[in-house]
């Protein structure tokens, strides 16, 4: 059987050579981190090389997309929390009618609400509606921009009608999918105060959630 001979100490790299190789590896990793990874992943370009190579723009886009995704996640979580709280608010019982009289249809009504949303603040307004009832609506941020979630809840049921981000206004007709509370949750993701105006008209019992 052939046995390999043990290498002599002269054939092995010296401690100084190992330290030099380790230092060069660390230096190379640091250069890659500063010139490539930081600009392309985080938009941080201390040397300016990332800007020349177009990596900084890519990193800034990634950071912006990550921030928007986190903002959406927080908006969805806040909407879910507020919807759960509002679901505990029971619609008022209709007044008892004499047995000989048929139940009356909800009377048409209209409302106008003005709200102020500070940067980062969210607020919700809902209409108490019966399944099939319709209400016209128009809301405007009065020159500002708002994220919104138009949804409804009632009993154990929930529904999302429409969502938007950075919108100046919204309008349309909301038809209640079931008995319950149907409306909007707005979030101000800008750096300035936003004045919100909501106008509604149609078949709904009342307007709730106004601070």
Within 10 angstroms of residue 139's Cβ, the number of other Cβ atoms is 23
Domains and CATH numbers, the chain: 15-66 (no CATH), 108-208 (2.60.120.680)
Of the two residues 205 and 80, the one the predictor is more confident about is 205
Helix/strand/coil for 98? coil
Separation between Cα atoms, residue 158 and residue 83, nearest integer Å:
9
Tens digits of residue pLDDT in 116-148: 999 999 999 999 999 999 999 999 999 999 999
H helix intervals, the chain:
15-32, 49-53, 55-87
Nearest 5 degrees, angle CA 70-CA 75-CA 81? Answer: 130
Torsion-angle region of residue 54: left (phi > 0), alpha (psi -120 to 50) or beta?
left
Range scoring the smallest mean pLDDT among 54-58, 96-100, 102-106, 183-187: 96-100
DSSP label at residue 30: H
Cα–Cα distance, 179 to 152 (Å, whole number): 9
What is the pLDDT at residue 51? Answer: 75
Query: Whole-angstrom Cα distance, residue 141 to residue 124?
Result: 14
pLDDT-derived band at 31, boundaries 50, 70, 90: confident
| Strand, helix or coil for residue 163 | strand
- pLDDT by residue (tens digit) across 53-86? 777 777 677 777 777 777 667 766 766 665 565 4
Helix (H) or strand (E) holding 108: strand 108-117
């Amino acid at each position: 059987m052939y046995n390999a001979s043990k290498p002599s100490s002269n054939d092995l790299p010296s401690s100084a050579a190992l330290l030099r190789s380790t230092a060069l590896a660390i230096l190379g990793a640091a250069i890659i981190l500063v010139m490539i990874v930081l600009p392309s992943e985080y938009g941080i370009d201390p040397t300016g090389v990332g800007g020349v190579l177009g990596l900084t723009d890519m990193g800034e886009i990634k950071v912006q997309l990550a921030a928007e995704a986190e903002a959406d996640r927080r908006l969805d979580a806040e909407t879910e929390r507020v919807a759960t709280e509002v679901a505990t608010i029971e619609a008022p019982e209709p007044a008892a009618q004499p047995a000989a009289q048929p139940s009356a249809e909800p009377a048409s009504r209209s409302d106008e609400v003005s709200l102020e949303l500070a940067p980062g603040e969210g607020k919700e307004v809902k209409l108490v509606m019966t399944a099939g009832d319709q209400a016209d609506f128009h809301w405007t941020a009065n020159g500002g921009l708002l994220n919104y979630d138009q949804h409804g809840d009632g009993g154990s049921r929930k529904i999302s009608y429409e969502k938007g981000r950075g919108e100046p206004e919204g309008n349309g007709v909301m038809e209640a999918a079931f008995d319950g509370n149907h409306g909007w949750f707005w979030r101000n993701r800008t750096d300035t105060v936003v004045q919100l105006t909501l106008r509604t008209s149609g078949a709904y019992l009342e307007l709730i959630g106004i601070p």
